[in-house]
Structure formats: structure tokens, C-alpha cells
Amino acid sequence: MKAPVISSWFSRGTVAAPPDIESAALRSDRFRLAREADWKRLEAILVRMEKGGLRRIADEDLIALPALYRTAASSLSVARETSLDAATLAYLEALVQRAWFQVYGPRQGFERWLRGFLLGGWSRAVRALWLDICVALFVMVAGTIVGWLLVADDEAWYYRLYPAGGGDPRVPGATREQLLETLGHDERAFGLAGFAAQLFSNNSGVCILAFALGFAFGIPSLMLLVHNLALLGALLWLFNGQGLVVELAAWLSVHGTTELFGILLSGAAGLHIGRAMAFPGPASVLESAAAAGRRSAVVMVGVVIMMIVAALLEAFPRQLVEDTTGRFVIGGTMLVFWLSYFILYRPAPQDAG
Amino acid sequence: MNARKTSPASGTRDGKRARILLTPEGLSLPITLAPRGARAGALIIDVMIIGGALLAVFLGMLWMVTGMLDGTSFDPDQLSKGAAEFLGILLTLFVFCTWYGYFLVQELGPRGATLGKRIVGIRIAARGAARLTPEGVIARNLLRDIEIFYPLVALLVLSQMAQSGEDIGILGWVMTGWFLLFALFPFFNRDALRAGDIIAGTWVVERPKARLAAVLSAQGAAANAGSSEVTGVRYEFGDAELSVYGEKELQTLERMLRDARPEALAAVHATICRKIGWDPGAGDERAFLEAFYAQLRAKLEGDMRFGKRKADKFS
């Protein structure tokens, strides 16, 4: 007549109270009955943690969690040596595994991770990829030159690079005025925000592709860079023919310093993975790929942020600011900002938790 | 020391999918890799959820645009450009955030699983005994695009082009090959890793679940030193009778006692009686088996403490 019945209505998932320890005939079952309450408490905490959020868990439970986990773990190793109760062993194995996922799971919430990422994690990851960035930069410059030379050699290449641009005045043979007009500001200023959202979605898709293709030893990533920059080279050649290359550079630089930088980083991230898989060094291929993948994933989150910035720049200032110097100033400022953020900003790494 | 790789209670565990996880405390935990079919099923469920959500939002927006058109008496020129544009932006960002956020946020959560994975009972975990990191989750989800969706979308576009009479050359075969390469990737490595798992250092495992079963030696004849509650007979087995069986048989008997189907128990009762040379009676099978179980387990566990183990009846 001790356990009040009412309490069982309020506690979730109650089971029948375990029998007295003395009632068990076997030593191993007495061992289990003596520790069962701790296991049950651990299980209840785990269920609440899995259901979501640490907020719903009392402080004392959270403090007790590591101790309860170790109790269950040691119970398991004792039970393995002394008990033949298969059901208890299976329960303990599952319990310890679930607790392990929580105790050694991702400790930071998304918010804390994001803060660590912005305050140093991102620039650290970028610096770790310096060699790949150099290679990708070289490939991009080479791609631009190749694009220029191809088109200069044979104008048919221009149409191959820009297939069927119906209505686009940017074709070989266009007049200076026509080309200049494409660099002018857009009359329809109201469409810009939607334009920005489209650009962002499209560009980040390309960047994620460049990164993911790194899985094939990085070669497709580089090909994607060459292709994209060959387009730029062809465009430069076209505008150079009418002596408009400075104006084009200004027009491009507004968002291009950010966007091309982002493409550079995603290509480098892809290349980093490819390189780690092709030349794993002393680690195994799997370990090496996993380490490289985690490093470049950080860079990729940054690339998505850069694409947001680039799309906003492309949609608003580029269309609204018309004078060449102003455009160069915006583009140059962004470039200086990114470079100093990645190279000069070096806070001491915080405890990753 | 921990030679036991799979516990007999979970006899369904496929030996090829069983792995051992070594915790930092030095404890080895058995884990089971998720079957490939379950993972495919989880992905299909997830895609259906995302698709359904996107469709619902799209229809909702369409409804709003229709409402706006209504307000302008069906003259598109009078349509508020700002409002339409705002809806367009909302849709674009919503698609982007849903597509990447759905997997990221859920897999970073305490369950390490998307809704689809939860439904089929699997979760992601870091390979080996490492911690699951946000970077790993991001990496594995970014790669899913080129593994499945990019080639599928490309194939869709190509088939449209082919239908409208354009020559697509070998591009269709290239894309099919690409798709198959990644879709079949998990079949060509031992741990059923897909490309994203390799990059992220993760794998997908079954979510453990087990309820704590009742204490067998605290109920029935096992608790009363072998006395039956029905007949009052006291079952007592000698050393020779108990040394017929080993741990494997003990745990089979445990499963039978827990699941408790009288006909099955009667059959087991008859078998054991034949084996130890007793005359099988009828009507009191459960008490007999409970007593036999308790005494066999007491003997085997007693031997265990002295380092003597008897795996099954043949050893």
C-alpha cells in the first residue's frame, strides 16, 4: 500500500513497479533489479532529449546524464560477464548506444556553430585550402585566356559558348552603342529583388555543383571553372573589340569580385576533396576524404553566403549605379573586404565543444 | 573479453550488417548498418514530403495571385508589380531553404534523422567512434544533389528534348551512367556508404530500440525455488540434467518463456523431458520450464563466474 495510484496518471509511460530485489532467485537478476531505476531514469531523459531540445530537461537531469551513461555502460560490461539474460543485455546495449549518441552527439546547436563559423571558423577553413585556391585561381585565369583566344581565333566559338542567345545584343558584330546599352542601368528597377533571388538560387546551385563534382577526383570541378571562365573571356574579347573593356570590367566587378571569389572557393573546395582522395597520404582514403569533406563543407556554407551578397550586389547597386568609377569602388571594396576577412582576420580558435 | 558479437535475443540481426562501435570508455557496442532498401525508402518519403510542402506553398501562392487578379478585375496590367515580385522572391527562397534546410536541420537535431529516416527507423552517425559534426552533415547533404537529383533532372530535360525531336546524342547514356554510378555506389562497398557518406565520414545505422523485459527469475516457479503454483510439485534438477544444455539453448528458452504460447511451450517441455530422461506430464509445462530455466541459468552463470562458458549443447 505504498505506491500512490494517482502518481501513475501523471508520469508518462509508467510500467509496473519492479519486484523487490529479494524476490529474484538469481544473483544476476538481483544485480539488474538494483540498477534498474538508474537505467529507467536514463531512458526517460533520453526520450525527452530525442523528442527535442534541451530546454525541456531539468538541470539536475542534464547534470546526471554523463554519470547515468557511465553507470549504464559499466552495468553493461558487468552484465556481459555475469548474466545470461539475453533480454536485459539487448536492452542495455540499445540503451547505452542511444545514450552514446546523445552524450557524444553534436554538442553545439546550429546557432552556436554559426557563430563560431562567422567568427573565425570560415576564414580558417579558407586558409586551410590555400593550395587548392591557388590551383583553382590559375585554372580560372587560364580559362579566361582560353576563352578569349578561342573566340579571337574563330568567331564561331562565341556562338558555341553562348548558344542561341535570341534577342541578346551581345554578339560579334554588335555596335558600340548596343553593347554600351547592355551595361546601362535597368529601367525596370522594381524587378530587381526578384532578379536577385533568382540569381542567388542559380549561382549557388552552380557552386554546389562545382563542389560536389570534386568527388570525381576534382577534375570535373576544374572543367566547370574553365567553362564558366571561358564565357567571361569571350565576353571580354567581344567588348574589347569596341574598346569597352574597362566599362565591362566595372560592370562585372560590382558583383563579380564576390561571385567569382565564391566560384573560386567552391572549385577549390571540390578540388580539395578530389586531391584528398587521389593522394590520401598516410591516412586511409576514407579518412582522408572525410577530413577534406568536412573542411570544404565549411567553405561551402560560406560560399552560399557570398552568393547571397553577390546576388544582392548584382541586382541593386549594379543596376542602380551607372558610373564606371562608382562601380569599381563597390567591387574593389568587396574584394578588399573578403581578402582581409580571409587572410588578416585570425582570431584564436575557440573550443569547438 | 567481449567475444559476444551479436546477442541472440535479436536473432534477426544480419551478420553482414553488424558492426562494433568502441566507445571512449573502451566498451564495445554492437550496431547494425541500415539496409539499403530502408535508406531508399526513407529518401523517397523525404522527397515526397518536400514535394508535397512545395506544392502546397505553390498552390497557396497561386491562390493569392488569383485573389490579386480578382481585385484588378482580371487586367494583368493593373496587377501590383511589387506584390507579385514579393511572392516570387518568397517562393524562390522558400524552395532553396526547404531543399537544403530540410535535411540539414533535422539531421543536426538530437535524433540525427529526417522524418523519412525516423519512419523507417534509421539514423545517421559518424563512422567509427567519432562525434557527428555539423560540417559532416552539411557535406553529406550537399553531395546528394549530384548523386541523385542532378542526373534525374538532366534526364528529364533530355527526354523532353528528345521528344520534341532534338538530337541529344549520347548525352542521355552519359547521364544514365552517372545516375547509376552513384545510385549503385552503396552496393560496392562493405559499409553501404554513398558518396556523401564517404566525404562526410558518416554512415547510416539502425536506430536501437528495446524495452526492458520483466525479470524472469522473480515470477512463477523460478521465484519459488522450483515449486509449481498449480500442482505444488517442486521441480529440482540434478547436475547431470542441467549440463545437457548451453547458453544458446538457455536464451532460446528465455525467448519462449517471454513470448509464452502454450502449445509451443508444451512442445519445448516434451523435448527437454525426452532429453533429460524425465517422463513428460501435462498441464504444468510453464512451471516446469520456469524452474528449469532458473536452475539452468543459475548453473551456467555460476560457471561463468569461474570463467567456464558453455556456448551450446555441443560444447
The tens digit of pLDDT for each residue in A279-321 reads 888 888 888 888 888 888 889 888 888 888 888 887 777 667 7
Using a CB-CB cut-off of 8 Å, the residues of chain A touching B135 are: 293-295, 297-298
CB-CB: which of B25, B86, B199 is closest to A273?
B199
- Sequential DSSP letters for A134-201: HHHHHHHHHHHHHHHHHHHH-THHHHHHSTT-TT-S-STT--HHHHHHHHS--S-GGGHHHHHHHHHH
Test A102 with B85 for CB contact under 8 angstroms.
no
The amino acid occupying position B47 is V
* Interface list for B 161-190 with A (CB within 8 A): none
Q: Are B118 and B111 in contact (CB under 8 A)?
A: yes
Task: Determine the Cα–Cα distance for residues B101 and B141; give it in Å rounded to an integer.
Answer: 10
CA dihedral A80, A85, A91, A92 (to 10 degrees): -20
CB-CB: which of A90, A191, A293 is closest to B210?
A90
Q: Cβ–Cβ contacts within 10 Å for residue A270, how many?
A: 33
Q: Cα-flanking dihedrals φ and ψ of residue B281, to 5°? A: -85, -160
By the 10 Å C-beta count (0-12 exposed, 13-18 middle, 19+ buried), A280 is classed as middle
Q: Tell me, what's the pLDDT at A209?
A: 81
Q: Tell me, what's the pLDDT at B45?
A: 94
Q: pLDDT by residue (tens digit) across B282-305?
A: 777 788 888 888 888 888 888 888
Q: Chain B: nearest CA to A140, how far in angstroms?
A: 22
Q: Chain B: nearest CA to A51, how far in angstroms?
A: 8
Using a CB-CB cut-off of 8 Å, the residues of chain A touching B258 are: 87
- Average pLDDT per block of 10 residues along chain A, 353 residues long: 44 55 76 87 87 74 87 89 85 89 73 82 89 92 90 82 63 74 58 66 78 81 85 85 83 85 90 88 84 87 86 74 82 91 81 46
Q: Chain A: nearest CA to B67, how far in angstroms?
A: 20
If you measure CA to CA, which chain A residue comes closest to B104? A110
Low-confidence ranges of chain B (pLDDT < 50): 1-13
Query: Which three cell numbers, joined as nine digits, stand for A203?
Result: 549561382
A353: Cβ contacts below 8 Å, ≥ 6 apart? A107, A108, A112
Q: CB pairs below 8 Å between A and B: how many?
A: 228
Q: Tell me, what's the pLDDT at B259?
A: 80
CB-CB: which of B105, B199, B215 is closest to A290?
B199
* Interface list for B 185-204 with A (CB within 8 A): 195, 198-201
Q: Tell me, what's the pLDDT at A48?
A: 85
Q: Chain A: nearest CA to B43, how far in angstroms?
A: 19
Q: Chain A: nearest CA to B98, how far in angstroms?
A: 12
Test B251 with A82 for CB contact under 8 angstroms.
no
Q: Does B23 touch chain A (CB under 8 A)?
A: yes
Q: Are A239 and A174 in contact (CB under 8 A)?
A: no
Query: Which three cell numbers, joined as nine digits, stand for A238?
Result: 567581344
By the 10 Å C-beta count (0-12 exposed, 13-18 middle, 19+ buried), B260 is classed as exposed
Does this model's pTM top 0.95?
no
User: What value does the mean pLDDT of chain B take?
Assistant: 80
Give the ranges where B227-312 is alpha helix by DSSP (H): 239-242, 247-259, 262-276, 285-305
Test A33 with B81 for CB contact under 8 angstroms.
no
Crossing angle of the two packed helices A324-339 and A285-315, in degrees rounded to 10? 150
Strands B28-32, B122-126: pairing is: unpaired
If you measure CA to CA, which chain A residue comes closest to B118? A50
Q: Tell me, what's the pLDDT at B104?
A: 85
Q: Does B124 touch chain A (CB under 8 A)?
A: no
Q: Does B66 touch chain A (CB under 8 A)?
A: no
Test B27 with A77 for CB contact under 8 angstroms.
yes
Using a CB-CB cut-off of 8 Å, the residues of chain B touching A34 are: none
Q: Are B282 and B229 in contact (CB under 8 A)?
A: no
Q: Are B240 and B300 in contact (CB under 8 A)?
A: no
If you measure CA to CA, which chain A residue comes closest to B151? A209
The amino acid occupying position B76 is P
If you measure CA to CA, which chain B residue comes closest to A195? B89
Please give the sequence-ordered ranges of beta strands (E in DSSP) within chain A, or none if there are none. none
Using a CB-CB cut-off of 8 Å, the residues of chain B touching A211 are: 142
Q: Cβ–Cβ contacts within 10 Å for residue B284, how many?
A: 18
